[in-house]
Amino acid sequence: MIEMDCQLSKDGHVVVFHDERLNRTAKTSGWVKSKNLQQLKKLDIGAWLKKSFKGERILTLEEAMEIVAGKADVLLDIKTIPKGPLGIELKILFTLSHYDYFERALLSSFDFRTLQRIRELAPDARIGILYRKGMKEEPLQLAWKVRAHSLHLHKDCISRDLIEQAGELGVKTLVWTVNEVSEMEKFLALGVDGIISDFPEKFWKVRQRKR
């Protein structure tokens, strides 16, 4: 799967961008939610990383889906910002439906209200609970409330007991963000169903060795 972070621009477009603020990768001040799409499209979001990425632009979800075009399933991390534009859930569901990708998408968020709205709008949607230390409710309780497909657990939250309990409830477990081969092997040995990583090529090598 390809994981993408989705949030709304000031004028209501779903854009694929990780940070809520623009200063780290776009080298400009302000928030994504405070810029319209035309303003966001002018930003270079690649040059900060390396010269070969210079000129990369922020994509809308529609543009990203055109690129994926059936080559992979997608995991969409939905970001909702306090006092930001509303309606991202319906717009994402509409886009997935337009590209006939509803059954190939997994929708996750730290905002539980967002996941509840998705469940109300799309009873058959695959929902993933994003979870990290410090959250008030237990992950399995959250999963039960929205009939989640999976738990997306920070690697500091993973335990064999939690993996087994989730499995008994029919809930898959994914762990994030795992970038070292030794950690990948450790979590696979614990029994997780999936690994979220910045380096899928490393995971491929682990898979090849396991065969």
* Nearest-angstrom CA–CA distance, 146 and 118: 9
pLDDT of residue 19: 96
* Nearest-angstrom CA–CA distance, 74 and 129: 15
pLDDT of residue 119: 97
Amino acid at 211: R
- 133's CB contacts (< 8 A; 6+ apart) are 154, 156, 157
User: Within 13 A of 35's CA, how many CA atoms are on the CB side?
Assistant: 21
pLDDT of residue 78: 97
pLDDT of residue 81: 78
pLDDT of residue 206: 82
pLDDT of residue 161: 97
Ordered per-residue pLDDT tens for the chain, 211 residues:
999 999 999 999 999 999 999 999 999 999 999 999 999 999 999 999 999 999 999 999 999 999 999 999 999 999 987 777 789 999 999 999 999 999 999 999 999 999 999 999 999 999 999 999 999 999 999 999 999 999 999 999 999 999 999 999 999 999 999 999 999 999 999 999 999 999 999 988 887 666 5
Task: Please state the pTM of the whole predicted model.
Answer: 0.94
pLDDT of residue 85: 75
Q: Are 158 and 193 spatial neighbours (Cβ–Cβ below 8 Å)?
A: no
pLDDT of residue 208: 67
| Cα three-residue angle 187-192-194, rounded to 5 degrees | 100
